[in-house]
């Protein structure tokens, strides 16, 4: 009786994988990263990462074309992590450079 349990488990897995060939293709497509997407870690010199990340999220939320972007603060290194389309990241990095300045 104990030898049948592993065999049944293998049969169940095999049945699921053959029945869902289209879902396997979907999963493979999702696992393949989009070439135009990037992740950047930006260390800050003067700005506080939590505050700047919050401000950047407000800017992104106001623009429909940039909804796929994410901004996360890393307080430990005072850096922000930005992910999204490369073109949008380039523009966001320009904004970061303008905001990460020494205050008088």
- In percent, how much of the chain has pLDDT > 70? 63
Integer Cα distance of 11 and 6 in angstroms: 9
Integer Cα distance of 104 and 5 in angstroms: 73
Three-class SS of residue 36?
coil
Residues 25 and 63 grouped into a single domain: no
91 or 63: whose pLDDT is higher?
91
Q: Considering Cα of 90, then 91, then 92, then 94, what sign does the dihedral take? A: positive
pLDDT for residue 104: 84
Q: How confident is the model at residue 2 (pLDDT cuts 50, 70, 90)?
A: very low
Residues 91 and 57 grouped into a single domain: yes
Pair 88, 75: CB distance under 8 Å:
no
pLDDT for residue 4: 41
- Model confidence pLDDT, tens digit, residues 33-81: 555 889 999 999 999 999 999 999 998 888 776 668 999 999 999 999 9
Residue 25 has φ and ψ, to the nearest 5°, of: -65, -40
pLDDT mean across residues, the chain: 75
Residues 18 and 64 grouped into a single domain: no
Residues 44 and 89 grouped into a single domain: yes
Query: For residue 84, which of 100, 102, 63 has the smallest C-alpha distance?
Result: 63
Decide if 104 is inside a domain: no
pTM of the model: 0.63
Both structure tokens of 49: 């990462």
């Amino acid at each position: 009786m104990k030898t049948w349990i592993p065999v049944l488990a293998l049969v169940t897995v095999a049945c699921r994988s053959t029945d869902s060939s289209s879902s396997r293709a979907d999963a493979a497509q999702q696992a393949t990263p989009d070439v135009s997407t990037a992740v950047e870690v930006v260390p800050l010199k003067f700005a506080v990462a939590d505050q700047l990340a919050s401000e950047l999220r407000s800017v992104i939320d106001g623009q429909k074309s940039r909804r796929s972007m994410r901004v996360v603060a890393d307080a430990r290194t005072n850096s922000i992590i930005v992910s999204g389309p490369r073109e949008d990241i380039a523009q966001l990095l320009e904004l970061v450079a303008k905001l990460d300045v020494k205050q008088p």
